[in-house]
Amino acid sequence: MAMRNVVLEGDPILRKVCRPVDEITPRILTLLDDMAETMYYENRGIGIAAPQVGVLRRVFVVDVGDEHGKLEFINPEITYTEGSQIYCEGCLSVPGKNADVERPAKIRVKALNRNGEEFELEAEGLLAVCICHENDHLNGILFTDKAVDGKIIVEE
Ligand code: GNR
Ligand code: NI
């Protein structure tokens, strides 16, 4: 496992649409491991998407500290959403900024795990927020794009 550098806002990498993973190679497994290490190191992040470490593939990892523990998503698809919630978000790629963002209250997401098996998960609360935030990264979207009333809080 190794730490990877986090790509910061302003880098065009974060604005690209990521390509699906077509084969789960050892390289993808190392990517997942390195993303987790980077996420846990960086001020206890609760999620990280591949483009944040410079890899334009549809992969993310989340761990919101609930009973699910670490979850890995390859080629995720949000298949259902319901309701809405507003949560004050941050991003490892946008240090020092926060903003309220409106997201679905409840989602279902389908993806492959590291063994190439399809799974589907229902999420609400912070886990739903985090999965939607990470899924947006795969499409070149940052939370600041969705700030309620365009209001971004800058620290310091
Ligand atoms: O660590 C993170 N915290 C967070 C807080 C509220 C809403 C979303 C997040 S995700 C973020 C890590 C990150 O940037 N993932 O892409
Ligand atoms: Ni982020």
Which residue CA neighbors atom 16 of ligand 1 most closely? 48
pLDDT tens, 20-72? 999 999 999 999 999 999 999 966 799 999 999 999 999 999 999 999 999 99
Is residue 26 assigned to a domain?
yes
Render the burial of 15-53: b for 16+ CB within 10 Å, e for the rest. eeebeebeebeeebeebbebbbbbbbeeeebbbbbbbbb
- Sign of the dihedral defined by the CA atoms of residues 70, 36, 135, 91, in that order: positive
Which residue's CA is minimally distant from atom 11 of ligand 1? 91
Round to whole Å and give the CA distance between 18 and 55: 8
57/51 Cα distance (integer angstroms): 7
User: Distance between CA atoms of 96 and 43, rounded to whole angstroms?
Assistant: 12
Whether 7 is covered by a domain: the verdict is no
- The predicted model gives 11-20 an average pLDDT of 98
pLDDT confidence of residue 44: 77
Nearest partner of 102 among 50, 145, 147, 140, judged by Cα: 147
Domain count, the chain: 1
Catalytic: which of 124, 134, 155, 156? Answer: 134
Active site annotation includes 124: no
What are the backbone angles phi and psi of residue 107, rounded to the nearest 5°?
Answer: -135, 160
Give residue 37's pLDDT: 96
Q: What is the pLDDT of residue 63?
A: 97
- The answer as to whether 57 is a domain residue is yes
Q: The tokens of 88 are what?
A: 């004050």
**Structural domain includes residue 95:** yes
Residue from 89, 129, 133, 137 to probe ligand 1 pocket by mutation (most atoms less than 8 Å from CB): 133
Classify residue 5: in a domain, yes or no. Answer: no
22 Cα–ligand 2 center, Å? 24
The CATH number assigned to the domain holding 122 equals 3.90.45.10
Q: pLDDT for 105-131, tens place per residue? A: 999 999 999 999 999 999 999 999 999
Would residue 3 count as lying in a domain? Answer: no
For residue 91, tell me if it sits in a domain: yes
pLDDT tens for each residue of 64-79? 999 999 999 999 999 9
pLDDT the model gives residue 92 = 96
Domain limits at 87? 12-154
Domain-embedded: residue 49: yes
pTM for the predicted model, two decimal places: 0.98
Provide the pLDDT for residue 43: 66
